[in-house]
Amino acid sequence: MPRPLIDLLWRDHPQAPSGGRRGPRSRVETGAVVDAAVRLADAHGLASVTIRSLGAELGVSTMSVYTHVNSRDDLLVLMADRVHLSAERPDFGRRGWRGRVGLVAAANRALLEAHPWLLEVDDERTALGPGTIAKYDHELGALEQLGLDDLTRDAALTFVLDFVRAGVRAALADARSADLAEHWQEWGPRLAHYLGDDFPLAQRVGAAAGEAQGGVRDADFAWEFGLARVLDALAGLRRP
pLDDT digits (tens, 9 = 90+) for 67-88: 899 999 999 999 999 999 999 9
Find, among 157, 5, 155, 178, the residue nearest to 77 by Cα. 5
Query: What confidence category does residue 230 fall into, taking pLDDT thresholds of 50, 70 and 90?
Result: very high
Q: Give the percent of the chain with pLDDT over 70.
A: 88
The rounded distance, in Å, linking the Cα atoms of 141 and 68 is: 34
Helix orientation angle between 219-235 and 150-173, rounded to the nearest 10 degrees = 170
Within 10 A of 37 (CB to CB), how many other CB atoms are there? 27
Q: What pLDDT was estimated at residue 17?
A: 78
Q: Share the mean pLDDT of the chain.
A: 89
What is the H or E stretch that residue 31 is in?
helix 30-44
Quick check: pTM over 0.75?
Answer: yes
Q: What pLDDT was estimated at residue 175?
A: 60
The highest-level CATH class for domain 97-235 is mainly alpha
3-state helix, strand, coil in the chain (%, to 5): 70, 0, 30
Spatial contact of 73 and 41, defined as CB atoms under 8 Å apart: no
Residue 215 has pLDDT above 70, yes or no: no
The CATH architecture of the domain made up of 5-85 is Orthogonal Bundle (1.10)
Where do you find CATH 1.10.10.60 in the chain? 5-85
Residue 9 has pLDDT above 60, yes or no: yes
Reported as a single tens digit per residue, the pLDDT across 185-213 is 788 788 888 888 888 888 888 778 777 66
Where do you find CATH 1.10.357.10 in the chain? 97-235
Query: What confidence category does residue 19 fall into, taking pLDDT thresholds of 50, 70 and 90?
Result: low
Spatial contact of 51 and 66, defined as CB atoms under 8 Å apart: yes
